[in-house]
């Protein structure tokens, strides 16, 4: 029996499409359900539906053997899990964004960055030898530069619509992001056969795409 942590929301739809193709008997897998635990005894799988940013935590602590998480979440949480597969969906970019022609930002002595990803932002600026005050927000970070809370934001950009509608542009690209399949370190040893079979069936679908 494997327990798998799945992200609700944006990544959920593509995740359930992939799992439906990969495993027979999951036709009833509905990630929009309000139910948090979904059991599929015939295929020996239990799914727990969690907030995307919590997936690595459930996997690191072994409550789930396997999880599907965005690379952004993995970079931010630094969870001790094995990253086994790039699933190729949920593609977006982690960027620094702000108002166009924002040259004052580059030379400013005290710079503020608002973000849902404080660890990613901190390590990005320190890797460049730059300092910045990081302000943690939980959403709608594009508001930061508009209301004067911050000079720029560090955030994910997918279609670019949110930036555009708020008059912001990408100033620097930090890295590419996509959904990853992660595995608990102990489970990989104790449930190696089940995990290998599960990953194998997903890889097969990915090869066909």
161 binds ligand PRP (CB under 6 A): yes
Please tell me whether residue 114 adopts helix, strand or coil conformation.
strand
SS3 track for 166-197: CCCEEEEEEEEECEEEEECHHHHHHCHHHHHH
139 binds ligand PRP (CB under 6 A): yes
155 binds ligand PRP (CB under 6 A): yes
Question: Phi and psi of 144, rounded to 5°?
Answer: -45, -60
Smallest separation (angstroms) from ligand PRP to the CB of 160 = 5
Smallest separation (angstroms) from ligand PRP to the CB of 92 = 7
Which one, 65 or 70, has the nearer CB to ligand PRP?
Answer: 70
Q: Which position among 156, 168, 171, 183 is part of the footprint of ligand PRP (CB under 6 A)? A: 156
Which one, 41 or 139, has the nearer CB to ligand PRP?
Answer: 139
72 binds ligand PRP (CB under 6 A): no
Stretch touching ligand PRP by CB under 6 A, among 22-30, 72-80, 99-107, 156-164: 156-164
Stretch touching ligand PRP by CB under 6 A, among 42-50, 106-114, 157-165, 189-197: 157-165
Smallest separation (angstroms) from ligand PRP to the CB of 88 = 18
Stretch touching ligand PRP by CB under 6 A, among 58-66, 80-88, 155-163, 171-179: 155-163
Q: Quick one: tokens of 129?
A: 């030898």
CA distance 58 to 64: 6
**120: exposed, middle or buried (C-beta count within 10 Å: 0-12, 13-18, 19+)?**
buried
Q: Residue 85 in contact with residue 105, Cβ under 8 Å?
A: no
CA distance 102 to 104: 6
Q: Quick one: tokens of 2?
A: 């494997």
Q: Which chain residues interact with ligand PRP by CB under 6 A?
A: 139-142, 155-162
């Amino acid at each position: 029996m494997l327990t798998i942590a799945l992200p609700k929301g944006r990544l959920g739809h593509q995740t359930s499409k992939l799992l439906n193709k990969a495993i027979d008997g999951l036709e009833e897998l509905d990630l929009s359900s309000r139910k948090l635990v979904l059991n599929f005894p015939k295929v020996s799988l239990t799914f727990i539906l969690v907030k995307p940013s919590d997936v690595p935590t459930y996997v690191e602590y072994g409550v789930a053997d396997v999880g599907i998480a965005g690379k952004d979440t993995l970079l931010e949480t630094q969870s001790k899990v094995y990253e086994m597969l790039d699933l190729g969906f949920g593609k977006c970019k982690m960027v620094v964004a702000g108002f166009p022609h924002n040259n004052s930002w580059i030379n400013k002595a005290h710079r503020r960055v608002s973000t849902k990803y404080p660890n990613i932002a901190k390590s990005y600026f320190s890797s460049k030898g730059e300092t910045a005050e990081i302000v943690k927000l939980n959403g709608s970070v594009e508001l930061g530069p508009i209301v004067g809370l911050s000079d720029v934001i560090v955030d994910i950009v997918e279609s670019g619509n949110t930036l555009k509608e708020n008059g912001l542009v990408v100033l620097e690209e930090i890295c590419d992001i996509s959904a990853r399949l992660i595995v608990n370190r102990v489970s990989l040893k104790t449930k190696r056969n089940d995990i290998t079979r599960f990953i194998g069936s997903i890889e097969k679908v990915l090869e066909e795409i």
